[in-house]
Chain A
Amino acid sequence: QMQLVQSGAEVKKPGSSVKVSCKASGGTFGSYAISWVRQAPGQGLEWMGGIIPILGGTTNYAERFQDRVTITADESTTTAYMELSSLRGDDTAVYYCARVSYDILTGYYSMDVWGRGTTVTVSS
């Protein structure tokens, strides 16, 4: 069963960037998409974007993050990355990576494996 192991907590200054990693083990990395979802303190889940390694690393991003987020993947190390730039205080959140699986029987996608989350704190 695939597991997703995320990098450790980060504290960043406003205006800087953060890069969070998500290493997959126990499965075929290139067969799945990886999404990034964040959760501000006491708030709900917010999808940021994703990458599809099997489609040559095709990425898609939520409109509100389009200008600030870059998602990449390194198949040789089975690791996905999410870099968020121009950090602000309201970017303080837990950032999750999740595997997006395709169910052959039903034709549906879902986020069926999640990392444990990486806390990013933005503070001066």
Chain B
Amino acid sequence: EIVLTQSPGTLSLSPGERATLSCRASRSLSSNYLAWYQQRAGQAPRLLIFGASSRATGIPDRFTGSGSGTDFTLTISRLEPEDFAVYYCQQYDTSLLFSFGPGTRVDI
């Protein structure tokens, strides 16, 4: 079973600043089967990035996913007020068994 760890647990930043979130897998992911989700308080998760670097429909270009193998990064270039939320990375295998990382909270 692949375990995802995310760091930092909490990121305290201000609007306009750059956020860099890390997701590390316990072993190399097949073909970059990694996605990122945003969850605002009281809401369902929202897909941001799939395939490690492909932006989902309607996601602003300030969100960028990168990485491969075991190390992945979500970068938010300039934080907007609505970006303060919890971010989860997620991996899956060829059998469509999924798992999530523990999340990173981006706080003001």
Contact-residue bracket for chain B: 20 to 34
Interfacial chain B residues near A115, Cβ < 8 Å: 44
Q: How far is A106 from B34 in the complex, measured between Cα atoms in Å?
A: 12
Interfacial chain A residues near B78, Cβ < 8 Å: none
Q: How far is A111 from B98 in the complex, measured between Cα atoms in Å?
A: 10
Q: Is the interface of A mostly helix, strand, loop or mixed?
A: strand
**Which one of B14-22, B48-56, B67-75 is at the A interface?**
B48-56
Closest to B54 in A: A106
For residue A85, give the distance in angstroms from its CB to the closest CB of chain B.
21
Q: Is B84 among interface residues, defined by CB-CB distance under 8 A? A: no
Contacts A108-B54, A109-B50, A112-B56 given: A33-B96 contact, CB under 8 Å? yes
Instruction: Tell me the B32-86 residues at the A interface (CB within 8 Å).
Output: 32-33, 35, 37, 39, 44-47, 50-51, 54, 56-57, 86
For residue A27, give the distance in angstroms from its CB to the closest CB of chain B.
14
B54 touches A103 (CB 8 A): yes
B96 touches A114 (CB 8 A): no
Interfacial chain A residues near B39, Cβ < 8 Å: 45
For residue B9, give the distance in angstroms from its CB to the closest CB of chain A.
11
| Residue in contact with B45 in the complex, picked from A103, A109, A111, CB distance below 8 Å | A111
Q: How far is A114 from B43 in the complex, measured between Cα atoms in Å?
A: 10
A52 touches B96 (CB 8 A): yes
| Residue in contact with B47 in the complex, picked from A46, A47, A110, CB distance below 8 Å | A110
Residues of B that sit less than 8 Å from A by CB: 1, 31-33, 35, 37, 39, 44-47, 50-51, 54, 56-57, 86, 88, 90, 92, 95-103
